[in-house]
Chains A and B, each alone.
Chain A
């Protein structure tokens, strides 16, 4: 299996084999972070630019750590403090970064499709770190990596995604990735947060959290994104917690162990109780650790693909 894509834009565009290749490569990279000297020279002399048009701490830092552990140089650009405020277009910003002879642009943007557009305009690699409601491929890859590590396989698993499906790029990337690898995905949310037509992706939908938990091997709990909505469409926070929040009481009614995931940052007492977030079934912090390995694998593969082409 060879990696041939210069960009990583979304899991929709990858074959199951390409997803497996990223996961297998990430498994090898995980060991690097356990060393006393947590660094390998694979991307020595390469420059990665973090271009973030939306606030982010964990994804940006995770990419930065990943790039540095591969010995790449990292430059961070936050759009609020850059020429974007003077009216520069995304493509112009991208071309300027390319003219600086950077090798990889890691971009987060509030518009769906922004990464695809940038990738078409540039010869250097573009890695999507989240675009609007479209995709957040590395988050889904690290979720799937963590699941595979915990349960040994993805094929045949029942995975529930609970929460704000409508506004969630994490949900979309997870649906693509999980179904391509043979898992069954159930989306669980109040009806107003389930976008019409989402079933065409192959995922089932439900608004009964207790039923969904009964059949699930793992639950990916999404953050309620209050910043994306003025509040009209969202149910009251307390009401949501009562009907959909993952609590110890709710989990105790399910006979088996369920793996609890969350992409962070957690709203404690809204999506899940503190007891669940910190409990034995939670793998939330392991997801953060695995995120580094997955992003190292992605950065390594896209930069190798470019070398092979030229």
Chain B
């Protein structure tokens, strides 16, 4: 993998989080009945950061959860590697909530399709909205994000690498070329 460009640094990621938090509050007319669920792994950390930003803005503790979508993948039977099944932690009732689903990168849309199926098994939220740090295009399903940190036009030969302090020790988004 050859590194090509740094798209976001720590400050850029922070600013995107704060803006998304404001947009979520604006769209939902406040933060009542709101919950934020991140897709494992990095989506969970981004969800927690957005929740922290909302706390600073509105002084409300928004419910957060973690969703593992492995068991809902449409390529489970085809996957050559073997995905590790991790824990889903949603310790609250999602019925009638405005639910914000969070992931790091939006690409084909298949992860989000799996996540939607998983969420519906947990209940019937009033709405489900999607927030992503990076939208890199190339959708294969009719799915779009409501809140986007940064739109990055990419080619399919490139890969987008999101690094976060919680999992990778630093905050940055890079584009790399697959060799």
| B-contact 0/1 string along A26-39, CB 8 Å cutoff | 01110110011101
Complex formed: what's the CA distance from A41 to B81 in Å?
19
Which of B83-91, B100-108, B171-179 lies on the face that meets chain A? B83-91
A98 at the B interface (CB under 8 A): no
Contact A36 B71 (CB under 8 A): no
B123 in the interface (beta carbon within 8 A): yes
Note all chain A residues with C-beta closer than 8 A to B77. 307
B122 touches which one: A29, A36, A297 (CB < 8 A)?
A36
- In angstroms, how far is the closest chain A Cβ from the Cβ of B43? 16
Residues B85 and A2 in contact, CB atoms below 8 Å apart = no
The interface residues of chain B lying within 8 Å CB-to-CB of A35 are: 121-122
Instruction: Tell me the total A-B contact number using a CB cutoff of 8 A.
Output: 50
* A116 located at the interface, meaning its Cβ lies under 8 Å from any Cβ of chain B in the complex: no
Chain A proximity of B96: nearest CB distance (Å): 14
A40: interface (CB < 8 Å): yes
CA distance A25 to B82 in the complex (A): 12
Q: When chains A and B are docked, how far (Å) is the Cα of A42 from the Cα of B80?
A: 16
Minimum CB distance partner of A46 in chain B: B77
The answer to whether B85 and A41 touch across the interface, beta carbons within 8 angstroms, is no
Least CB separation from B93: chain A residue: A36
Residue of B nearest to A29 (CB): B85
Contact B121 A28 (CB under 8 A): no
Q: Which residues of A contact B135 (CB under 8 A)?
A: none
Give 1 or 0 for each of B6-47: 1 = CB within 8 Å of chain A CB: 000000000000000000000000000000000000000000
Question: CA A251 – CA B65 in complex, angstroms?
Answer: 42
B82 touching A40 by the CB < 8 A rule? no
Name the contact of A27 in the complex, choosing from B72, B78, B87 (C-beta under 8 A). Answer: B87
B residues in contact with A31, CB < 8 Å: 87-89
With A2-B82, A31-B87 in contact, do A41 and B123 touch (Cβ < 8 Å)? no
Interface status of A232 (Cβ within 8 A of chain B) = no
> Pick the contact of A42 from B71, B87, B89, B123 — CB < 8 Å?
B71
Docked complex Cα distance between A90 and B9 (Å): 63
Residue of A nearest to B73 (CB): A42
Of the residues B71, B79, B81, B84, contact of A40 by C-beta under 8 Å? B71
Given contacts A31-B88, A37-B121, A39-B121, contact A307 B79 (CB under 8 A): yes
Give the complex CA separation of A39 and B118 in angstroms: 10
B79 touches A28 (CB 8 A): no
- Cβ of A300 within 8 Å of any chain B Cβ, yes or no, is yes
CB closest residue in chain B, given A4: B82
Shortest B18–chain A CB gap in Å is: 32
Write the B48-73 contact mask toward A (1 if CB under 8 angstroms, else 0): 00000000000000000000101110
Contact A25 B80 (CB under 8 A): no
Tell me, in angstroms, the Cα distance from A304 to B81 when the chains sit together.
9
Contact across chains for A40 and B72 when beta carbons are under 8 A apart: yes
Please state if B86 and A28 are interface contacts (CB–CB under 8 Å).
yes
* B122 A28 Cβ-Cβ under 8 A: no
| CB of A100 within 8 Å of the partner chain | no
CB distance from B64 to the nearest CB of A (A): 16
Is A3 among interface residues, defined by CB-CB distance under 8 A? yes
**Residue A233, interface by CB 8 Å:** no
Given contacts A28-B68, A300-B85, 11 further A-B contacts (CB under 8 A): A3-B82, A25-B84, A28-B87, A28-B88, A39-B121, A41-B117, A42-B72, A300-B71, A304-B79, A307-B79, A308-B80
Residues of chain B having any CB pair with chain A under 8 Å? 68, 70-72, 76-82, 84-89, 117-118, 121-123
29 contacts between A and B (CB under 8 A): A3-B82, A24-B84, A25-B85, A27-B87, A28-B85, A28-B88, A29-B85, A31-B87, A31-B88, A32-B71, A35-B121, A35-B122, A36-B122, A36-B123, A37-B121, A37-B122, A39-B121, A40-B71, A40-B72, A40-B121, A41-B72, A41-B117, A42-B70, A42-B71, A42-B76, A307-B77, A308-B79, A308-B80, A308-B82
Please provide the 8 A-B residue pairs with the shortest distance between their CB atoms, ordered closest to farther: A42-B71, A40-B71, A28-B85, A37-B121, A28-B87, A25-B85, A2-B82, A304-B82
